[in-house]
Structure 1
Amino acid sequence: MRSRVAEGGGWRKRRGAAGFLLASGVLLAGCARHPPRLEGAPGVSARPDVPWEAPAGVGRGPERALPPGLPEDLLARSGDLTLADLADVALRNSPVTAEAWARARAAAGTLGSERGAYFPELEAGASVTRIQGAIANGRIAYFQRSYAPSLELTWLLFDSGGREAAVEGARQALVAADFEHNAAIQEVILGVARAYWQYVTSKALLESERVSLEEFSTALEAAHERHRAGLATIAEVLQAQTALAQAQLEADRLEGEVYTTRGALATAMGLPASTPYDVALPEAERPAAEATEAAERLLEAAMASRPDLAALRAQAEKARAHVREVRAEGLPSLRAVGSLGRTYYDNRHLFGNTYNVGLQLRIPVFTGFSHTYEVQRARAEAEAANQVLKGLEERVAYEVWAGYYALRTAQRRLATVETLLQSATESHAAALGRYKAGVGGILDLLAAQAALEDARAQGVQARGDWYAALVQLARDTGTLGLESPALRTPVRLQMSKEQEP
């Protein structure tokens, strides 16, 4: 009876402890925050229309230190630079080329890793074991400790061409990554060249517009003189004032464009947009006519030199190698295996040696059709890669064709705009002289001034378009580099505290 009471009391105690634990768990669950806090701040915003305020340090990466300004070696020879030097600064700072280079190095590591499949694999191991037991109905207990170092060797001797295909795929991936790096370099150079010509074109347009402002001011003064002399009405003065105000508006717009394009050039060079620098306008003489080859020859050069095209060719070869690799997974393979070990007991003078050597032949018989579908997928991916390559080849052909005729058109515009500017200048001079002499009207003068203003702008734009077309064609043919003729334009660079254009 006492034992039953004791047992009943023990059961009640255990039941009470279980109830206490259950109640504690429910209480703790009720105290849990929903949603949980994040770094001491609310995990989500209070309402759908309220933005979440991130705690300090969350979601903010380390600040990227931009280069403080132009390199000292560049400033030291600021009067003897070319556009290639600006492109070189961009290549030093560009994260695009750095990323492409890192990917190429990663691909090189993958190739080395795949080549490791031709070598044997050797693995060392060790184990410590303690065994305890009893015999004779538990009257005699015993235990034993052992230490067992070991070496295991595995060597793939034959796999029906799988290793070779994997290595070839990795090799083609490296080739593709290297050409993608080259393409990234060309894109950075192209970006700098475009930004440079956009900036100097905007700057030249602003200077041209300022000359037009002086001419419109001259026309306004002439209108005032004629009005004071009673030879013109107030309407003529107001028309001249309107034309001057319109020219001032255009100058203001161009001044903002100069700021924007100067920041774009600094950014293209990997510098802060606020870098205090300036680029002098290049000489105003007509660019020397670049000898352009036939479009067919340029297309041949592009097919042989375009790095993005070469990268896609390598990607297509990689896809074909992957087909061979996947196919080999369904074919026999042969491995050599072996192991060597020694087991020590508590008495170190007692030990035992173990070893084994053998060959393992693997012959896939049935995999639930999964291997068949894997081969089909690899073949489809290879066909897709071929079609992507074909599409790029067609696009390259068009880009070269369009770039070739864009350059020819730009060359013709250079010749035409000279005639336009000369005739507009003479027309404006004649109209101004007639108006001052009292035999011409204000509308004729303002029309001549507008024509001259437009001719100057077209001359500046035609020159910039010619250089842009030359750089673009070099990129389209895959020949754009720091040594390209398109980057031989002299550049005068200077650091400046003043940001006024």
Structure 2
Amino acid sequence: MLRKASVSRLAKLRTCIALGVVLGTIGGLQGCATDALKNTSASPSTPWVPQGQSALPGDFSVSGSTDIGLLPDPVSQDLQPGKVYQLPELIDFAQRHNPSTRVAWEQARQLALASGMVEATFLPILTANVFAGRQQTSIPYRGLLDGDTHHVDTTVSGVAPNLALQWLVFDFGRREALSDAARHNAYAANVNFNGAHQAVIYNVTRSYYQYGAAKDRLAIAEEVLVNNRLLQDAAESRYANGTGTSIAVAQARQLVAQSNLRMVQAQSMLRDQYQELLSALGASPTTQIEVAGASNRPLPGIDELASVDSAIEAALSKRPDVLASYAELQAAKATERAADADFMPRVFVAAATGTNKKNLSIGHLPSIGNQTTGTGVFLGVTMPIYDGGLLAAKRQQAVSVTASAEAAFEKIRNTAMREMVVAADALRSSLAAFDAADALTEAAAVTYDAAFDAYRNGVGTITEATAAESGLLDARLARSEAHAASLIAASTLAFTLGAMTSSTSPLEAIP
């Protein structure tokens, strides 16, 4: 009897220990969650350092990663050092290497997969399940002869595999509405992908013309420096011959110094524009290539822009941002229809087939096993009755999203029209400015040549030559800037009209 009582106490002790272990584990898990605070800074003014590392007080530097610091090899990016690249070649490279096109491509793929996932909800779901378990019970009883407490141990174990089918048959158009929304979103993503390529083409084109303008500015600065050195030589020669003055020599030297400053500034601007071009290409900042100039590229005539106004309405129908915004509006309307369908019942079919194999063992008796098989098909209907206003709030949210999409579409369409009109006006102004600057340059060149020859021959004054030189410099810079501005304006107009769709010259894309 003492032995049986000890066994009973031992069983209770095991139960208590198991319960303590479970509670201790739960408490330990809670402690692990709060211990994660050790992985961040101790206070707002204390630097964060990774575990196992130390830092000086007030040092907020972070340890670097060798993988991130690896620079791409410019040669491996299909750019050949020493080769002179034309605009179409640069555009082609950017379309293959600029990260923005890959981002837009992946986003389009994601939404295409999302559309496919919605389509999959029209099909039934078939799942295989296996349930296995083991249960032990100890039933106490009092002996009839000795009056002591005895236990009967019972063990039940079993395995129940089954095959289940679920199929939503009818839901009042909810899945169809969600499918429409997914298709419209996927369409918008694909349009934005093509729009990303158009943006890359435009950014490369604009950067290319800006870089060309910077090259022209540097070339003009170098020519002016050469001319001013000739003027300085003439002033020093006249001073040595006794026909000049020290003031004239000082003025000539000042012109040379100013020309040196302009050339340094032009070189700095050229380097900046070169990095802008590399950024538009998606190339490494350390890439070294040669880029062809654009100073000789012809400009369109003002008369060729007469058809731009009539092309604006047609251009709205192919602007990627307008098309994407309209598709997003249609997706919002479809989502609103799906929210309405949430209030309606849903009809589903369910089926299951499976077996159940179990064993029963009682004490030292032989175990008993049996196996059963069952199959069932069910037709069910579910309908929301009360959810605390969740579906109503969801529908109101969908209505709000639709209203927001309508306003966004109207804003984008109006912005697109304004951009087209502004771009057309900017191109007209740039072309007019170029014609005026071109005529001014021709007149200033005649004046400078006459003033310089007169001074070199001892007839004119250094003041006249200096004024003529300044006038010619301003005219040439104005002509170069107006030419580049006209090219950029032409590119902007083509981009706003949705016509910049390939690596062809932007001037060819102007209607």
TM-score (normalised: structure 2): 0.82
Between the aligned partners of 1:365 and 1:142, the Cα distance in structure 2 is 45
| Partner residue of 2:91 out of 55, 67, 87 | 87
Q: Is 1:116 matched up with 2:124?
A: no
Partner of 1:452: 472
Q: CA deviation at 1:62?
A: 3.7
Could you tell me the percent identity over the aligned residues?
A: 25
Q: SS of the counterpart of 1:335?
A: strand
Partner of 1:335: 348
Between the aligned partners of 2:52 and 2:140, the Cα distance in structure 1 is 63
Between the aligned partners of 2:236 and 2:96, the Cα distance in structure 1 is 58
Deviations along 1:120-144, one digit per CA (max 9) or x if unpaired, are 1111101112233456835544323
Partner of 1:107: 111
Q: CA deviation at 1:40?
A: 0.3
Q: CA deviation at 1:215?
A: 1.3
Q: Is 1:145 matched up with 2:157?
A: yes
Report the AA paired with residue 428 of structure 2: R
Report the AA paired with residue 328 of structure 1: A
Q: Is 1:384 matched up with 2:404?
A: yes
139 and 201 in structure 1: CA distance in 2 versus 1, 3 angstrom threshold? closer
Q: CA deviation at 1:310?
A: 0.9
Partner of 2:12: none
Report the AA paired with residue 52 of structure 1: F
Q: CA deviation at 1:231?
A: 2.7
Deviations along 1:447-497, one digit per CA (max 9) or x if unpaired, are 1001111111112112211211111111111111224431779xxxxxxxx
Between the aligned partners of 1:136 and 1:436, the Cα distance in structure 2 is 128
Partner of 2:72: 66
348 and 56 in structure 1: CA distance in 2 versus 1, 3 angstrom threshold? farther
Q: CA deviation at 1:163?
A: 0.3
Deviations along 1:406-444, one digit per CA (max 9) or x if unpaired, are 112222233222211110110001111222333322111
Report the AA paired with residue 236 of structure 1: A
293 and 148 in structure 1: CA distance in 2 versus 1, 3 angstrom threshold? farther
Q: Which moved more, 1:107-116 or 1:283-292?
A: 283-292
TM-score (normalised: structure 1): 0.83
Q: Is 1:320 matched up with 2:333?
A: yes
Between the aligned partners of 2:140 and 2:56, the Cα distance in structure 1 is 71
62 and 440 in structure 1: CA distance in 2 versus 1, 3 angstrom threshold? closer
Q: CA deviation at 1:261?
A: 1.5
Q: Which moved more, 1:369-378 or 1:191-200?
A: 369-378
Output aligned runs, 1:219-258, within 5 Å. 219-258=231-270
Between the aligned partners of 1:67 and 1:487, the Cα distance in structure 2 is 34
Output aligned runs, 1:125-136, within 5 Å. 125-133=129-137
Report the AA paired with residue 92 of structure 1: R
Q: SS of the counterpart of 2:282?
A: coil
Partner of 1:167: 179
Deviations along 1:90-141, one digit per CA (max 9) or x if unpaired, are 1111111111101110001100000111001111101112233456835544
Q: 8 Å contact 1:428–1:452 — kept in the other structure? A: yes
Q: SS of the counterpart of 2:75?
A: coil
Report the AA paired with residue 301 of structure 2: A
Report the AA paired with residue 197 of structure 2: I
55 and 288 in structure 1: CA distance in 2 versus 1, 3 angstrom threshold? closer
403 and 350 in structure 1: CA distance in 2 versus 1, 3 angstrom threshold? same
Q: 8 Å contact 2:77–2:283 — kept in the other structure? A: no
Q: SS of the counterpart of 1:366?
A: coil
Partner of 1:191: 203
Between the aligned partners of 1:331 and 1:323, the Cα distance in structure 2 is 14
Deviations along 1:23-77, one digit per CA (max 9) or x if unpaired, are xx9xxxxxx98959733024xx665xx12344565xx7644652423755x7599
198 and 123 in structure 1: CA distance in 2 versus 1, 3 angstrom threshold? same
Q: 8 Å contact 2:424–2:493 — kept in the other structure? A: yes
Partner of 1:412: 432
Between the aligned partners of 1:278 and 1:106, the Cα distance in structure 2 is 38
Q: 8 Å contact 1:82–1:487 — kept in the other structure? A: no
Q: 8 Å contact 1:161–1:328 — kept in the other structure? A: yes
Partner of 1:294: 307
Q: SS of the counterpart of 1:294?
A: helix
Between the aligned partners of 2:392 and 2:67, the Cα distance in structure 1 is 46
Deviations along 1:246-276, one digit per CA (max 9) or x if unpaired, are 1110111001111221222223222222222
Q: Is 1:268 matched up with 2:276?
A: no
Deviations along 1:354-383, one digit per CA (max 9) or x if unpaired, are 222212212222222232222112111110
Q: SS of the counterpart of 2:96?
A: helix
Q: 8 Å contact 1:334–1:359 — kept in the other structure? A: yes
Between the aligned partners of 1:249 and 1:70, the Cα distance in structure 2 is 38
270 and 56 in structure 1: CA distance in 2 versus 1, 3 angstrom threshold? closer
251 and 38 in structure 1: CA distance in 2 versus 1, 3 angstrom threshold? closer
Q: SS of the counterpart of 1:118?
A: coil
Report the AA paired with residue 443 of structure 1: T
437 and 133 in structure 1: CA distance in 2 versus 1, 3 angstrom threshold? closer
Aligned residues: 454
Between the aligned partners of 1:139 and 1:392, the Cα distance in structure 2 is 81
Q: CA deviation at 1:172?
A: 1.0
Report the AA paired with residue 162 of structure 1: R
Partner of 1:278: 290
Q: 8 Å contact 2:201–2:503 — kept in the other structure? A: no
Q: 8 Å contact 1:183–1:307 — kept in the other structure? A: yes
Q: Which runs of 5+ in 2 are unaligned?
A: 1-19, 29-36, 43-47, 142-149, 360-366
Bigger RCO of structures 1 and 2 (CA < 8 A, at least 6 apart): 1
Q: Which runs of 5+ in 1 are unaligned?
A: 1-17, 26-31, 490-501
Partner of 2:492: 472
Between the aligned partners of 1:56 and 1:257, the Cα distance in structure 2 is 32
Between the aligned partners of 2:248 and 2:204, the Cα distance in structure 1 is 47
Between the aligned partners of 2:385 and 2:503, the Cα distance in structure 1 is 59
Q: CA deviation at 1:339?
A: 1.4
| Partner residue of 1:52 out of 55, 60, 74 | 60
Q: SS of the counterpart of 1:365?
A: coil
Q: 8 Å contact 1:39–1:55 — kept in the other structure? A: no
53 and 427 in structure 1: CA distance in 2 versus 1, 3 angstrom threshold? closer
Q: Which moved more, 1:195-204 or 1:137-146?
A: 137-146
Q: 8 Å contact 2:216–2:295 — kept in the other structure? A: no
RMSD: 3.0
Q: 8 Å contact 1:83–1:488 — kept in the other structure? A: no
Report the AA paired with residue 337 of structure 1: A
| Partner residue of 2:393 out of 373, 380, 383 | 373
Q: SS of the counterpart of 2:317?
A: helix
Q: SS of the counterpart of 1:231?
A: coil
Report the AA paired with residue 60 of structure 2: W
